[in-house]
Protein backbone atom coordinates (compact mmCIF):
# COMPACT_ATOMS: atom_id res chain seq x y z
CA UNK A 1 0.00 0.00 0.00
CA UNK A 2 1.28 3.49 -0.87
CA UNK A 3 1.33 5.86 2.10
CA UNK A 4 1.10 9.68 1.91
CA UNK A 5 4.29 11.72 2.17
CA UNK A 6 5.52 12.73 5.60
CA UNK A 7 6.03 16.41 4.78
CA UNK A 8 3.41 17.39 2.17
CA UNK A 9 3.72 20.71 0.36
CA UNK A 10 -0.04 21.34 0.08
CA UNK A 11 -2.85 20.91 2.59
CA UNK A 12 -5.38 20.09 -0.15
CA UNK A 13 -6.25 21.03 -3.73
CA UNK A 14 -7.57 24.42 -2.67
CA UNK A 15 -4.24 25.25 -1.03
CA UNK A 16 -2.44 23.93 -4.11
CA UNK A 17 -4.53 26.22 -6.31
CA UNK A 18 -3.75 29.17 -4.07
CA UNK A 19 0.00 28.55 -4.22
CA UNK A 20 -0.12 27.93 -7.96
CA UNK A 21 -2.02 31.19 -8.54
CA UNK A 22 0.90 33.08 -7.00
CA UNK A 23 3.09 31.75 -9.82
CA UNK A 24 0.65 32.99 -12.48
CA UNK A 25 0.15 36.65 -11.60
CA UNK A 26 1.58 37.78 -14.98
CA UNK A 27 -1.57 36.37 -16.60
CA UNK A 28 -4.08 38.22 -14.41
CA UNK A 29 -6.69 40.16 -16.39
CA UNK A 30 -5.24 38.84 -19.65
CA UNK A 31 -7.28 37.01 -22.34
CA UNK A 32 -6.93 33.67 -20.52
CA UNK A 33 -9.01 30.51 -20.55
CA UNK A 34 -8.13 28.15 -17.71
CA UNK A 35 -8.65 24.58 -18.94
CA UNK A 36 -9.10 22.07 -16.11
CA UNK A 37 -8.48 18.34 -16.55
CA UNK A 38 -11.18 16.49 -14.56
CA UNK A 39 -11.51 15.48 -11.95
CA UNK A 40 -8.56 16.44 -9.76
CA UNK A 41 -7.69 19.53 -11.77
CA UNK A 42 -11.08 21.20 -11.26
CA UNK A 43 -10.67 22.46 -7.65
CA UNK A 44 -7.23 23.86 -8.52
CA UNK A 45 -8.42 25.50 -11.73
CA UNK A 46 -11.43 26.90 -9.81
CA UNK A 47 -9.11 28.95 -7.60
CA UNK A 48 -6.69 29.86 -10.42
CA UNK A 49 -9.48 31.12 -12.70
CA UNK A 50 -11.01 33.29 -9.98
CA UNK A 51 -7.63 34.74 -9.02
CA UNK A 52 -6.73 35.52 -12.65
CA UNK A 53 -10.21 36.86 -13.41
CA UNK A 54 -10.30 34.36 -16.25
CA UNK A 55 -12.79 32.07 -17.95
CA UNK A 56 -12.73 28.43 -16.86
CA UNK A 57 -13.50 25.44 -19.06
CA UNK A 58 -12.73 21.72 -19.12
CA UNK A 59 -10.70 19.43 -21.33
CA UNK A 60 -11.32 15.78 -20.59
CA UNK A 61 -8.08 13.83 -21.00
CA UNK A 62 -7.79 10.29 -19.68
CA UNK A 63 -4.93 7.83 -19.54
CA UNK A 64 -5.21 4.57 -21.47
CA UNK A 65 -4.80 1.89 -18.78
CA UNK A 66 -2.51 -1.09 -19.20
CA UNK A 67 -4.50 -4.35 -19.24
CA UNK A 68 -4.18 -6.20 -15.91
CA UNK A 69 -2.29 -3.20 -14.45
CA UNK A 70 -4.78 -0.30 -14.73
CA UNK A 71 -2.85 1.95 -12.34
CA UNK A 72 -0.33 2.34 -15.19
CA UNK A 73 -0.97 3.77 -18.63
CA UNK A 74 0.45 3.63 -22.15
CA UNK A 75 -0.97 6.90 -23.46
CA UNK A 76 -3.99 9.19 -23.24
CA UNK A 77 -7.17 10.17 -25.08
CA UNK A 78 -9.03 13.51 -25.06
CA UNK A 79 -12.65 14.49 -25.59
CA UNK A 80 -12.08 15.55 -29.22
CA UNK A 81 -10.61 12.15 -30.08
CA UNK A 82 -6.93 13.04 -29.83
CA UNK A 83 -4.83 9.97 -28.99
CA UNK A 84 -1.19 10.01 -27.87
CA UNK A 85 0.74 6.81 -27.13
CA UNK A 86 3.86 6.17 -25.06
CA UNK A 87 6.15 4.11 -27.34
CA UNK A 88 8.50 3.09 -24.51
CA UNK A 89 5.68 1.56 -22.47
CA UNK A 90 4.16 -0.10 -25.53
CA UNK A 91 7.47 -1.82 -26.27
CA UNK A 92 7.60 -3.13 -22.72
CA UNK A 93 4.05 -4.47 -22.49
CA UNK A 94 3.97 -5.83 -26.06
CA UNK A 95 0.33 -5.19 -26.96
CA UNK A 96 -0.93 -5.90 -30.45
CA UNK A 97 -2.97 -3.41 -32.50
CA UNK A 98 -6.31 -5.00 -31.61
CA UNK A 99 -5.54 -4.80 -27.87
CA UNK A 100 -4.46 -1.17 -28.18
CA UNK A 101 -7.62 -0.25 -30.11
CA UNK A 102 -9.80 -2.02 -27.55
CA UNK A 103 -8.30 -0.08 -24.65
CA UNK A 104 -8.57 3.21 -26.57
CA UNK A 105 -12.24 2.46 -27.37
CA UNK A 106 -13.02 1.83 -23.69
CA UNK A 107 -11.48 5.16 -22.69
CA UNK A 108 -13.36 6.98 -25.45
CA UNK A 109 -16.64 5.58 -24.16
CA UNK A 110 -15.79 6.76 -20.65
CA UNK A 111 -14.91 10.22 -21.96
CA UNK A 112 -18.18 10.42 -23.90
CA UNK A 113 -20.15 9.74 -20.71
CA UNK A 114 -18.14 12.32 -18.80
CA UNK A 115 -18.67 14.93 -21.52
CA UNK A 116 -22.43 14.48 -21.17
CA UNK A 117 -22.16 14.94 -17.40
CA UNK A 118 -19.89 17.98 -17.49
CA UNK A 119 -20.79 19.83 -20.64
CA UNK A 120 -24.39 18.96 -21.51
CA UNK A 121 -25.27 21.58 -24.16
CA UNK A 122 -22.67 24.12 -22.99
CA UNK A 123 -20.42 25.15 -25.93
CA UNK A 124 -16.64 24.80 -25.82
CA UNK A 125 -14.77 28.04 -25.11
CA UNK A 126 -13.20 29.84 -28.06
CA UNK A 127 -9.41 29.69 -27.68
CA UNK A 128 -8.31 31.45 -30.86
CA UNK A 129 -5.79 34.24 -30.02
CA UNK A 130 -6.18 33.55 -26.28
CA UNK A 131 -3.83 32.14 -23.66
CA UNK A 132 -4.82 28.59 -22.73
CA UNK A 133 -3.69 27.66 -19.20
CA UNK A 134 -4.00 23.90 -18.73
CA UNK A 135 -4.35 22.82 -15.10
CA UNK A 136 -4.21 19.46 -13.32
CA UNK A 137 -3.40 18.48 -9.74
CA UNK A 138 -0.02 17.03 -10.76
CA UNK A 139 2.02 15.41 -13.51
CA UNK A 140 3.53 11.96 -13.11
CA UNK A 141 4.34 10.78 -16.65
CA UNK A 142 2.90 13.83 -18.43
CA UNK A 143 1.09 11.93 -21.18
CA UNK A 144 -2.43 12.93 -20.11
CA UNK A 145 -1.33 16.57 -20.26
CA UNK A 146 0.47 16.10 -23.58
CA UNK A 147 -2.72 14.75 -25.15
CA UNK A 148 -4.61 17.76 -23.77
CA UNK A 149 -2.01 20.13 -25.27
CA UNK A 150 -2.27 18.50 -28.70
CA UNK A 151 -6.06 18.82 -28.54
CA UNK A 152 -5.94 22.48 -27.47
CA UNK A 153 -3.42 23.38 -30.18
CA UNK A 154 -6.05 22.56 -32.80
CA UNK A 155 -8.11 25.49 -31.50
CA UNK A 156 -5.30 27.97 -32.36
CA UNK A 157 -4.58 29.63 -28.99
CA UNK A 158 -2.01 32.39 -28.79
CA UNK A 159 -0.07 30.44 -26.15
CA UNK A 160 -0.36 27.14 -24.29
CA UNK A 161 0.74 27.30 -20.64
CA UNK A 162 0.77 24.20 -18.44
CA UNK A 163 0.32 25.04 -14.75
CA UNK A 164 0.37 22.36 -12.06
CA UNK A 165 1.20 22.38 -8.35
CA UNK A 166 3.65 19.49 -8.61
CA UNK A 167 5.33 17.43 -11.32
CA UNK A 168 8.08 14.90 -11.74
CA UNK A 169 11.16 16.25 -13.49
CA UNK A 170 10.67 13.60 -16.18
CA UNK A 171 7.13 14.83 -16.89
CA UNK A 172 8.25 18.47 -17.04
CA UNK A 173 10.93 17.56 -19.57
CA UNK A 174 8.37 15.75 -21.73
CA UNK A 175 5.68 18.43 -21.51
CA UNK A 176 8.13 21.28 -22.21
CA UNK A 177 8.58 19.82 -25.71
CA UNK A 178 4.98 20.61 -26.64
CA UNK A 179 3.91 23.50 -24.33
CA UNK A 180 5.03 27.12 -24.57
CA UNK A 181 5.50 27.34 -20.80
CA UNK A 182 5.42 24.86 -17.92
CA UNK A 183 4.87 26.37 -14.48
CA UNK A 184 5.00 24.37 -11.25
CA UNK A 185 5.19 25.10 -7.54
CA UNK A 186 7.32 21.97 -7.02
CA UNK A 187 9.32 19.93 -9.53
CA UNK A 188 10.63 16.72 -7.98
CA UNK A 189 13.61 14.65 -9.12
CA UNK A 190 12.83 11.65 -6.89
CA UNK A 191 13.09 8.28 -8.68
CA UNK A 192 9.65 7.21 -7.40
CA UNK A 193 6.98 9.87 -7.79
CA UNK A 194 3.38 9.97 -6.52
CA UNK A 195 1.25 13.11 -6.87
CA UNK A 196 -0.61 12.22 -3.66
CA UNK A 197 2.62 12.48 -1.64
CA UNK A 198 2.50 16.27 -1.91
CA UNK A 199 -0.99 16.66 -0.41
CA UNK A 200 -1.80 16.36 3.29
CA UNK A 201 -5.43 15.56 2.46
CA UNK A 202 -5.81 13.62 -0.78
CA UNK A 203 -8.94 12.07 -2.22
CA UNK A 204 -10.11 10.82 -5.59
CA UNK A 205 -12.91 13.11 -6.74
CA UNK A 206 -16.02 11.57 -8.29
CA UNK A 207 -17.65 13.04 -11.40
CA UNK A 208 -20.45 14.33 -9.19
CA UNK A 209 -17.96 16.20 -6.98
CA UNK A 210 -16.05 17.53 -9.98
CA UNK A 211 -19.26 18.86 -11.53
CA UNK A 212 -20.31 20.44 -8.23
CA UNK A 213 -17.02 22.35 -7.99
CA UNK A 214 -17.22 23.41 -11.66
CA UNK A 215 -20.77 24.72 -11.12
CA UNK A 216 -19.61 26.58 -8.01
CA UNK A 217 -17.05 28.44 -10.12
CA UNK A 218 -19.83 29.51 -12.52
CA UNK A 219 -21.91 30.81 -9.61
CA UNK A 220 -19.03 32.81 -8.20
CA UNK A 221 -17.71 34.08 -11.54
CA UNK A 222 -21.06 35.24 -12.90
CA UNK A 223 -22.71 36.44 -9.72
CA UNK A 224 -24.71 39.65 -10.01
CA UNK A 225 -23.63 42.79 -8.18
CA UNK A 226 -26.68 42.38 -5.92
CA UNK A 227 -25.63 38.88 -4.85
CA UNK A 228 -22.76 40.17 -2.73
CA UNK A 229 -22.52 37.25 -0.34
CA UNK A 230 -21.88 34.57 -3.02
CA UNK A 231 -18.07 34.75 -2.90
CA UNK A 232 -17.95 34.98 0.86
CA UNK A 233 -19.84 31.81 1.58
CA UNK A 234 -17.88 28.60 2.25
CA UNK A 235 -16.85 26.45 -0.69
CA UNK A 236 -18.41 23.00 -1.00
CA UNK A 237 -16.14 20.12 0.11
CA UNK A 238 -15.64 19.13 -3.57
CA UNK A 239 -13.58 22.31 -4.15
CA UNK A 240 -10.96 21.22 -1.62
Average pLDDT score over residue span 131-153:
97
Cα within 13 Å of Cα(174), Cβ side:
20
Q: Is residue 132 part of a domain?
A: yes
Say what percent of the chain tops pLDDT 70: 93
Q: Is residue 141 part of a domain?
A: yes
Q: Using only C-alpha atoms, what is the Rg of the chain?
A: 17
Q: How high is the pLDDT of residue 222? A: 80
SS3 state at 37: coil
Q: What global pTM score does this model have?
A: 0.92
Q: How high is the pLDDT of residue 6? A: 64
Q: How high is the pLDDT of residue 230? A: 57
For 183-230, the pLDDT digits (tens) are: 999 999 988 899 999 999 999 999 999 999 999 998 888 875 445 555
- CATH code, 148: 3.40.50.2020
Task: Provide the residue range defining the domain that includes 197.
Answer: 13-60+128-232
Q: Is the pLDDT of residue 44 over 90?
A: yes
Q: Is residue 97 part of a domain?
A: no
Q: Is residue 167 part of a domain?
A: yes
Q: Is the pLDDT of residue 151 over 90?
A: yes
Q: How high is the pLDDT of residue 226? A: 46
Q: How high is the pLDDT of residue 2? A: 44
Average pLDDT score over residue span 46-55:
95
What is the count of structural domains for the chain? 1
For 96-110, the pLDDT digits (tens) are: 999 999 999 999 999
24-to-12, 19, 20, 48, 185 alpha-carbon distances in Å = 19, 9, 7, 8, 10
Average pLDDT score over residue span 21-27:
97
Please state, in angstroms and rounded to a whole number, the distance separating the CA atoms of residues 73 and 138.
Answer: 15
Class of residue 55 by CB neighbours under 10 A (exposed 0-12, middle 13-18, buried 19+) = middle
Q: Is residue 4 part of a domain?
A: no
Q: What angle do CA 17, 184, 22 make, to 5 degrees?
A: 50
Please state, in angstroms and rounded to a whole number, the distance separating the CA atoms of residues 108 and 140.
Answer: 21
Listing from the earlier edge strand, what are the strands of the sheet with 83-85?
61-66, 69-78, 83-85
Amino acid sequence: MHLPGTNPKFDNRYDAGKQLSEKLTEFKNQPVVVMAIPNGGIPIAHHVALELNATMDLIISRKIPIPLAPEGGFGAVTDDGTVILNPDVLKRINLNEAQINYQVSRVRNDIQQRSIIYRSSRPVSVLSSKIAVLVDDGLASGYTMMAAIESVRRKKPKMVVVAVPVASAMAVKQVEKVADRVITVVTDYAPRFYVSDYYRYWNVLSDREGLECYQEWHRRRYQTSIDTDRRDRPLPPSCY
